[in-house]
Amino acid sequence: MSADAVNTGSRTTRLLGAAVLIGVLALILLGFFGAPEDDEQRDAVRMIFVHLPSAFGIYAAMATTAVGSVMWLWKRSRWWDIVAHSSAEIGVIFCGLTLFTGSVWGRPTWNTYWDWGDVRLVTTLILFLMLVGYLALRSAGGDENAMATRAAVVGLLAAVNVPIINRSVEWWSNRTLHQKSSLTDGNLEDLTLFTLFVGIVVWALFFVWAMIHRFRIGWLEHQLRDIDLETALIQRRAEAATESSGEESR
Amino acid sequence: MFADIWLVTNKDLRIEWRSRVTLSQVAPFALTVLVLFGFALDANPEVLTAATSGLFWLTVLFVAVVAVQRSTAIETADGARRALLLAGIEPSSVFVGKALAIAVQILGVEVLMVGGVLLFYDATVESLPLLLATCAVATLAIAASGTLLGALVAGVRARETVLPILLLPLLAPVLIAASRAFDDALGVLAVDGWAWLGLLAGFGIVNALLGMLAYGPLLEET
C-alpha cells in the first residue's frame, strides 16, 4: 500500500468499533447465559435480542435516508445525498438480518419459516425489495446530480413504507402472527428487557460506525469523480494546445 | 390546468392510436400470459379458480411495465422531453395527463382480460360494481406510480431493467389489495372487498401526490 493511501478509519471510528465488539461480546453473554428462557417459547425467545434491534435499525436507516433525500431535493446538498445513499445500504443489511432472524425464530414458535398472510413480514419484504431497487438504480451510473434526484424520490417512496410496517400489526391485528409491541406491554422479565436494550444500543453504535465509514467512502468516490473530470479537462486542453502549436509550426 | 392535462393525454393517446402498439402488441401479450398461467395450472382447476384474482392482477402489472416503458420511450425519443418542458405546461399537469393516458390503455387491456378469465378460468362475477371500481381505482394507482417511475428512469442507461426492479415492488400493495377486492367481486373468498378498495385508493392518492410534486424536478434534471 502506498504511503498516502486514504483510510476511512479515524480515532472516533476505532473507538466506536471497539465499543461494538465489546458490546456484541456482552450481548452474547447476556443473551445466552444471563436472560432467562421464556415460559412458552423456551430458548427461541433469545432471538429477540438480534431481531428487534435489527428492526429498529431499519427504522433508523430509513429515517436517515428520508431526511437525506429531502435535503438533497431541497438544498442540493451533496453531503446529504451521500448520507441518504450510505444509510440505505446499511438499511438493506438490517432489513435482510430482520427477515432472516425472524424466519429462524418463526420456525420453532409459529411452526413455519414464512407466512404470506402476515402483514408485517410481507411489508418488510416489500421494503427490502424496494431498497434493492434503490441500490440498483444508484449503481446504474450517469450524471451525478440527476442520479441523486432520482434516488431521492425512490428513497422517499421506500420510506413511506416504514410507518405502514410499524403500524401494520395494529391495523391488521387479525392478519399477523407477530405479537403486538412487546416493549411497552410490560410482560418482559427485567433481565430480558435489559439485554434487549443492550442489543439496541450495540446495534445503534454499529449503525453509526458503519455510517461514518460508508459516508467517507461515498465522499472519496465523489472527490475521485471530480479529480477524473479535472484530469480529463487538463488532458483535452493540453491536446488542443499541441494541435494548435503544430498547426502554427506548419 | 384541465385543458393542459387533456392536451397531454390526448397527445399520448393519439400517438398510441396511430402506432397501435397497445392494440397489436400489449393486448396479445396480456392474453398470452393469461393463457400460459392456464397451461401451468390446468392440472388442478380448483387452484386456477382460487388463483384467478392474483393471476389477473399480476398480468396487469406486467402490462403496466410494458405500457410505462412505451410511454417513457415516446418522451425520450427525438428530445420530446425538452419540447414538453419548453411548451410551458405545468409539470404536474404533464404528470396527470400522461398517467391518464397510461390508465386508459391499461383499462382497455383489462376489459379484454376480464373476458379472458371469464372464458378460460371459468370465473363468475358476483359483484359487478366492486369489480369495476377495483379496476378503475387500481389502474389509476398503477398509472400514477408508473408515470412517476417512468420519468425517473428516463435518463438511466439500463432503464429497461431498472424500471421493473423499482416498479414491481412499489406496486406490490396494489397487487395484494386489488387481488383481495377481486376475490370478493368474483366470489372466490369471503373478504371485505370494499375495505381493500379503500386501501387501494389511499395508496393511489399518496403516489399521485408524490408524483405531482416530484415530476417537475425529475423532468428538468434527468
Contact criterion met (CB < 8 Å) for A140 and B148: no
Instruction: For residue B161, give the DSSP letter.
Output: H
Q: What is the pLDDT of residue B71?
A: 85
CA–CA separation, A78 and A99 (whole Å) = 32
**Residue B27: what residue type?**
A
pLDDT at B6 exceeding the cut of 60: yes
CA–CA separation, A151 and A169 (whole Å) = 29
Q: Which three cell numbers stand for residue B97?
A: 395527463
Q: Is B146 exposed, middle or buried (0-12, 13-18, 19+ CB in 10 A)?
A: buried
What is the mean predicted confidence (pLDDT) over A32-53?
A: 81
Over residues A210-247, the pLDDT tens digits come to 999 999 999 998 888 888 888 888 888 888 888 777 66
Q: What is the pLDDT of residue B141?
A: 93
- Residue ranges of domains in chain A: 15-35+45-180+188-236
- pLDDT band for position A182 (50/70/90)? low
Over residues A114-161, the pLDDT tens digits come to 887 777 788 889 889 999 999 999 988 778 888 899 999 999 988 877
Q: What is the pLDDT of residue A22?
A: 95
- pLDDT band for position B5 (50/70/90)? confident
**pTM reported for the whole predicted model:** 0.83
CA–CA separation, B193 and B4 (whole Å) = 35
Helix, strand, coil percent content, chain B, rounded in steps of 5? 85, 0, 15
pLDDT at A173 exceeding the cut of 80: no
Which chain B residues contact residue A126 at CB under 8 A? 169, 172-173
% of chain A beyond a pLDDT of 90? 40
Over residues B16-74, the pLDDT tens digits come to 888 887 778 889 999 999 989 888 887 787 888 888 999 999 999 999 999 999 888 88
Mean pLDDT of chain A: 84
Q: What is the pLDDT of residue A66?
A: 95
- pLDDT band for position B78 (50/70/90)? confident
- Selected for mutation to probe chain B from A122, A137, A172, A175 (highest B CB count within 10 Å) is A137
Find the chain B residues whose C-beta atoms sit closer than 8 A to any C-beta of A. 148, 152-153, 155-158, 162, 165-166, 168-170, 172-173, 176, 206-207, 210, 214, 217-218, 221-222
Q: How many CB atoms lie within 10 A of CB B50?
A: 14
Q: Which alpha helices (DSSP H) does A76-118 contain, by range? A: 78-110
Q: How many CB atoms lie within 10 A of CB B198?
A: 14
- pLDDT band for position A2 (50/70/90)? very low
Q: Which three cell numbers stand for residue B140?
A: 389509476
* Helix (H/G/I), strand (E/B), else coil: A42: strand
Q: What separation, in Å, do the N-terminal and C-terminal C-alpha atoms of chain A show?
A: 47
Q: Which three cell numbers stand for residue A136?
A: 440498483
pLDDT at B89 exceeding the cut of 70: yes
Q: Residue B26 in contact with residue B66, Cβ under 8 Å?
A: yes
Which chain B residues contact residue A129 at CB under 8 A? 168-169, 172
Q: What is the pLDDT of residue B65?
A: 94
Q: What is the pLDDT of residue B138?
A: 94
User: Residues, chain A, total?
Assistant: 250
Backbone angles phi, psi at B88, to 5 degrees: 75, 20
Q: Which residue of A has its CA nearest to B213?
A: A153
**CA distances in angstroms from B164 to A137, B117, B208, listed in the order given:** 11, 25, 19
Mean pLDDT of chain B: 87
pLDDT at A91 exceeding the cut of 90: yes
